C-alpha cells in the first residue's frame, strides 16, 4: 500500500505519544482503563507508539504495597485487560507495571500491540539513596532467572536486551529503559543505540524537586546527541502519593539534540505530548559518522518485530520545520551564530595572511552583499593584525550594466572603511576583447558577453596582487557554489583565499545586520551597509530590459531562501527529493505557521506551494548534481562555517565532476505529485 504524499510515515517519520494519565494510586484496574483510553486517543492521532510512566499501572509511590499479592495480581489482570481491549489497536503501548519472575518482583516496561505482549523489559539500576529505597521491594534486571516471562496468560521475551523493530518502517527500532537507568555512567540505551535502536524510551517515576526538571532535560538531550537517537521521557504526575514527595508529570522528547516538545508540568488533567521523530535522519547520520559504528556494544540483542501499520490517510507533520535551516529563529541563538561566523571568517583570513607573510589584501567590490561581507571581514582582519586598512586594495570595476546605486554604495563603503579605494572601468577592454572574439556585442547578451566582464575583473585583481605583493580575497558564497552561479576561474569561484566559501546566502544579511548592531564600524559605514542590504541581488552583467527591469539572479536559479533549504537537506542529511519536497512544503506552504528569523519583515515573508517547490527543486538538483561540481572541485581554500557542511573537495563534499543528476531528477518526478 502506497501512502499519500502528505503522510509523514511515507517520509521516514514515526509519531509517538508521550502520556501522563492521572494515577489512581494502588488501583491497577482503573489505571488500565485510563491508559487504554489515552492509547486509543494516541492511535486516532496517528501515533504508532504510546509511552506511559514508570509503574503507571499501580503508581510509583506505593512502596511496600508492591510486595502485596493483591496488587501484583491486579497489575497482571490490568495488563490482560489492556491486551484484550487493544486487540484492534495498531499503536504499540508501553506500560509500567510490577511483575513477578523467579524469586523477585521486577519494575517492568510491558510492550503490547494488537492484544499481544511483545516483550517485557525490567529496570536495570535501582536507586537506593536519599528519598529512594527501591531495593527494598524491587529486584534488578540482573537478578532475572530466565529470558522469558509469563504475563496474563502469555509468554513473552524478558530482559534488557530487547530491540523492537518496525518491519514496515525502515530505521524505526525501539529500546526501553526505566528512570534511573539514564542517570548512570553507562545507560542501557547507549548499548542499544550502538546495536541499532533509534528511538530510546524512558518510563520514569522521578519525583520533582527544585531544579530537577532541568536536570532531566539535560540528560535526555545529551543522551539523544551521544546516541544519535530520539529520546522520549515520561515522568509520573498527578495522583502519585505526596506523603513526602511531589510530582510534576514532565514529558519531553529530543531528537539528536533537537527538542521536539515538552508538556505542561504540574497539570490538573492528563497530559499527552505528540511528537514526530525523523528516524531516517538518525539512520542517515549514523551512516555518516564512522566513529558511531566503531563504538563497542558488548553482548547481543534480541530483535522483536512488529508492524506500525501507518494510517492510509494524509497525515501532515505536527513538527515545525525551520524555513531557514542556516538561520536560527531565536534571537539569542542567531546572535551566537553571527558572532561565531564573523570570527571564523576573520580568524581564517588572519591565519592565511600570517602564514604567507603577506600584509596586503586585494578585493573586488561591487556594492553587493557578498563583496561587502568579504570587505568588512578584511577590514576587521587588518584591525586585529595591527595593520592599516589602507593595506586593503579595494577595486570597483564598473561594466556595461553596473548601476549607479551599487557603484555609489561600493565607493561609500570603501571610503567609510578607509581602504585604498580604486576604480577601473573595464568597458574599453571588454569591447576590445569582444571584437577580437568576433562577438557582435550589445544587444547580444549571451554568456560570453557576461563572462568577458567577469574574467577581466578577476585578471585585474590577480595582476594587482602580483604587483603589490597581496592576496586576492574571494567573495563567492556557499549558495552560489552549490548552484554553480559562478564563472569558472573568476572572482566568485577563484581567489587566493575565499572567506565566504562556507557562508550561505541566507545568513549573510543577518551577519551584516549583526555587524551594524555591534557597532564594529562607525555610523557612516552602518548606513551604507543598510543601503546594501536593501539592494536587489543581481550580477549586473546585462543592462536593464526595455521595461527597466534589472538582471535578476533569483529569477534564474530560484529564491535563495528556498534553494538554501534544499541545499541544507541534501548536504547535511543526504535526503532524497521526495522527502525534501515534503519538508519544504511543511516549512513554506503556510507563512503563518512557525516562527521567522529576526529581521525578516512581513513584506518579505513569502509562501511556496508544492508545484513551485518542485520546480525550484528540479533546478537545484540539475545544477547541484549535474552541472557545477567541476567548479567546486577546483575551489580555493576557505573556512568551513556551518555544521551542515561545506563544499570543499578537501572537506565535507567529495564528488566526481562528471556525474549526472538523472537519478535525483527521476526520483523527483516519481515521488512528488
What would the pLDDT profile of 492-540 be if each residue is shown by its tens digit? Answer: 899 999 999 999 999 999 999 999 999 999 999 999 999 999 988 888 8
pLDDT at 537 (0 to 100) = 83
Spatial strand order of the sheet with 162-166 comes to 258-262, 251-255, 230-234, 199-203, 173-178, 162-166, 302-306
Average confidence (pLDDT) over 604-611: 96
C-alpha cell at position 302: 534480541
Average pLDDT value over all residues in the chain: 95
Average confidence (pLDDT) over 435-440: 95
- Give the residue, 644 or 563, on which the prediction is more confident: 563
For residue 299, pLDDT over 80 is answered with no
What would the pLDDT profile of 326-356 be if each residue is shown by its tens digit? Answer: 999 999 999 999 999 999 999 999 999 999 9
Do 409 and 367 contact (CB within 8 A), yes or no? Answer: yes
What would the pLDDT profile of 321-330 be if each residue is shown by its tens digit? Answer: 999 999 999 9
Distance CA 623, CA 632 (A): 12
Query: Residue 429: which H helix or E strand, with range?
Result: helix 427-436
Q: Distance of CA 512 to CAs 207, 370, 371, 414, 561, Å?
A: 48, 10, 12, 15, 17
pLDDT at 297 (0 to 100) = 66
Distance CA 205, CA 34 (A): 17
User: What is residue 274's three-state secondary structure?
Assistant: strand
Query: Residue 93: which H helix or E strand, with range?
Result: strand 92-101
What would the pLDDT profile of 2-46 be if each residue is shown by its tens digit? Answer: 999 999 999 999 999 999 999 999 999 999 999 999 999 999 999
What would the pLDDT profile of 107-123 be if each residue is shown by its tens digit? Answer: 999 999 999 999 999 99
Distance CA 425, CA 556 (A): 27
C-alpha neighbours within 13 Å on the C-beta side of residue 362: 23
Distance CA 564, CA 566 (A): 5
Do 479 and 504 contact (CB within 8 A), yes or no? Answer: yes
Do 87 and 114 contact (CB within 8 A), yes or no? Answer: yes
Q: What helix, strand, coil percent values describe the chain, rounded to 5?
A: 40, 15, 40
pLDDT at 1 (0 to 100) = 73
pLDDT at 298 (0 to 100) = 64
What proportion of the chain, given as a percentage, has pLDDT over 90? Answer: 89
C-beta neighbour count of 69 within 10 angstroms: 8
Question: Active-site positions?
Answer: 54, 123, 179
Distance CA 496, CA 378 (A): 13
Residue 481 burial by CB count (10 A; 0-12/13-18/19+): exposed, middle or buried? buried
Confidence of residue 547 (pLDDT cuts 50, 70, 90): confident
Specify the residue for cell string 546585462. 542
Query: Residue 272: which H helix or E strand, with range?
Result: strand 271-278
- Which domains are seen in the chain, by residue range? 8-306 (3.60.110.10), 331-671 (3.40.50.620)
Q: Where are the alpha helices (DSSP H) in 15-87?
A: 28-44, 69-85
What would the pLDDT profile of 261-280 be if each residue is shown by its tens digit? Answer: 999 999 989 999 999 999 99
C-beta neighbour count of 552 within 10 angstroms: 12
Average confidence (pLDDT) over 228-236: 97
What would the pLDDT profile of 130-185 be if each residue is shown by its tens digit? Answer: 878 888 999 999 999 999 999 999 999 999 999 999 999 999 999 999 999 999 99
| Inter-helix orientation angle 662-671/610-626, to 10° | 170
What would the pLDDT profile of 68-104 be if each residue is shown by its tens digit? Answer: 999 999 999 999 999 999 999 999 999 999 999 999 9
| Inter-helix orientation angle 662-671/577-588, to 10° | 60
Amino acid at each position: 500500500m502506497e501512502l499519500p504524499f502528505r503522510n509523514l510515515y511515507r517520509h521516514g517519520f514515526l509519531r509517538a505519544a508521550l502520556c501522563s494519565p492521572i494515577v489512581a494510586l494502588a488501583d491497577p484496574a482503573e489505571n488500565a482503563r485510563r491508559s487504554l483510553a489515552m492509547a486509543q486517543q494516541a492511535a486516532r492521532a496517528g501515533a504508532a507508539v504510546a509511552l506511559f510512566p514508570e509503574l503507571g499501572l499501580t503508581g510509583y509511590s506505593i512502596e511496600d504495597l508492591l510486595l502485596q499479592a493483591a496488587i501484583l495480581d491486579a497489575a497482571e489482570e490490568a495488563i490482560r485487560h489492556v491486551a484484550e481491549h487493544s486487540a484492534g489497536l495498531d499503536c504499540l503501548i508501553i506500560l509500567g507495571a510490577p511483575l513477578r519472575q523467579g524469586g523477585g518482583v521486577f519494575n517492568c516496561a510491558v510492550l503490547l500491540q494488537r492484544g499481544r505482549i511483545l516483550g517485557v523489559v525490567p529496570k536495570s539500576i535501582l536507586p537506593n539513596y536519599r528519598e529512594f529505597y527501591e531495593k527494598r521491594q524491587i529486584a534488578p534486571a540482573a537478578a532475572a532467572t530466565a529470558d522469558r516471562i509469563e504475563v496474563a496468560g502469555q509468554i513473552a521475551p524478558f530482559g534488557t536486551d530487547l530491540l523492537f523493530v518496525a518491519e514496515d518502517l525502515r530505521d524505526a527500532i525501539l529500546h526501553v529503559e526505566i528512570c534511573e537507568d539514564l542517570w548512570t555512567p553507562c545507560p542501557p540505551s547507549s548499548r542499544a543505540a550502538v546495536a541499532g535502536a533509534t528511538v530510546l524510551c524512558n518510563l520514569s517515576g522521578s519525583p520533582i524537586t527544585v531544579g530537577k526538571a532541568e536536570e532531566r532535560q539535560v540528560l535526555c538531550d545529551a543522551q539523544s546527541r551521544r546516541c544519535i537517537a530520539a529520546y522520549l521521557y515520561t515522568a509520573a504526575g498527578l495522583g502519585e502519593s505526596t506523603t513526602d514527595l511531589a510530582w510534576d508529570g514532565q514529558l519531553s522528547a529530543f531528537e539528536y539534540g533537537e527538542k521536539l516538545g515538552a508538556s505542561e508540568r504540574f497539570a490538573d488533567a492528563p497530559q499527552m505530548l505528540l511528537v514526530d521523530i525523523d528516524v531516517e535522519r538518525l539512520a542517515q547520520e549514523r551512516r555518516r559518522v564512522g566513529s558511531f559504528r566503531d563504538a563497542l556494544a558488548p553482548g547481543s540483542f534480541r530483535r522483536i518485530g512488529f508492524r506500525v501499520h501507518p494510517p492510509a490517510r494524509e497525515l501532515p507533520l505536527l513538527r515545525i520545520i525551520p524555513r531557514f535551516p542556516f538561520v536560527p529563529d531565536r534571537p539569542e541563538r542567531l546572535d551566537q551564530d553571527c558572532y561565531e561566523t564573523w570570527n571564523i571568517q576573520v580568524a581564517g583570513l588572519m591565519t592565511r595572511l600570517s602564514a604567507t607573510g603577506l600584509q596586503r589584501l586585494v578585493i573586488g567590490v561591487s556594492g553587493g552583499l557578498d563583496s561587502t561581507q568579504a570587505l568588512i571581514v578584511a577590514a576587521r582582519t587588518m584591525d586585529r593584525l595591527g595593520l592599516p586598512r589602507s593595506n586593503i586594495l579595494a577595486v570597483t570595476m564598473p561594466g556595461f550594466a553596473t548601476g549607479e546605486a551599487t557603484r555609489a554604495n561600493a565607493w561609500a563603503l570603501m571610503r567609510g572603511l578607509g581602504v585604498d579605494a580604486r576604480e577601473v572601468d573595464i568597458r574599453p577592454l571588454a569591447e576590445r576583447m569582444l571584437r577580437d572574439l568576433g562577438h557582435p556585442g550589445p544587444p547580444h547578451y549571451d554568456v560570453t558577453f557576461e563572462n568577458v566582464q567577469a574574467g577581466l575583473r578577476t585578471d585585474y585583481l590577480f595582476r594587482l596582487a602580483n604587483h603589490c605583493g597581496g592576496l586576492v580575497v574571494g567573495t563567492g558564497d556557499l549558495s552560489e557554489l552549490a548552484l554553480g552561479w559562478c564563472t569558472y576561474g573568476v572572482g566568485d569561484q577563484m581567489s587566493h583565499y575565499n572567506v565566504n566559501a562556507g557562508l550561505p546566502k541566507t545568513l549573510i544579511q543577518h551577519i551584516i545586520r549583526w555587524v551594524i548592531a555591534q557597532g564594529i564600524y562607525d555610523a557612516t559605514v552602518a548606513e551604507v551597509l543598510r543601503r546594501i542590504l536593501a539592494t536587489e541581488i543581481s550580477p549586473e552583467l546585462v543592462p536593464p530590459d526595455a521595461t527597466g527591469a534589472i538582471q535578476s539572479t533569483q529569477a534564474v536559479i530560484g529564491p535563495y531562501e528556498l534553494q538554501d533549504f534544499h541545499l541544507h537537506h541534501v548536504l547535511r542529511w543526504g535526503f532524497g527529493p521526495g522527502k525534501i519536497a515534503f519538508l519544504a512544503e511543511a516549512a513554506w506552504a503556510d507563512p503563518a505557521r512557525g516562527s521567522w528569523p529576526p529581521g525578516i519583515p512581513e513584506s518579505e515573508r513569502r509562501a511556496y506551494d508544492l508545484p513551485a517547490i518542485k520546480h525550484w527543486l528540479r533546478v537545484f538538483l540539475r545544477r547541484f548534481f549535474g552541472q557545477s561540481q567541476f567548479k567546486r572541485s577546483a575551489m580555493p581554500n576557505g573556512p568551513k562555517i556551518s555544521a551542515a557542511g561545506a563544499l570543499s573537495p578537501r572537506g565535507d563534499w567529495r564528488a566526481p565532476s562528471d556525474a549526472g543528476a538523472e537519478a535525483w531528477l527521476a526520483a523527483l518526478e516519481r515521488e512528488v505529485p
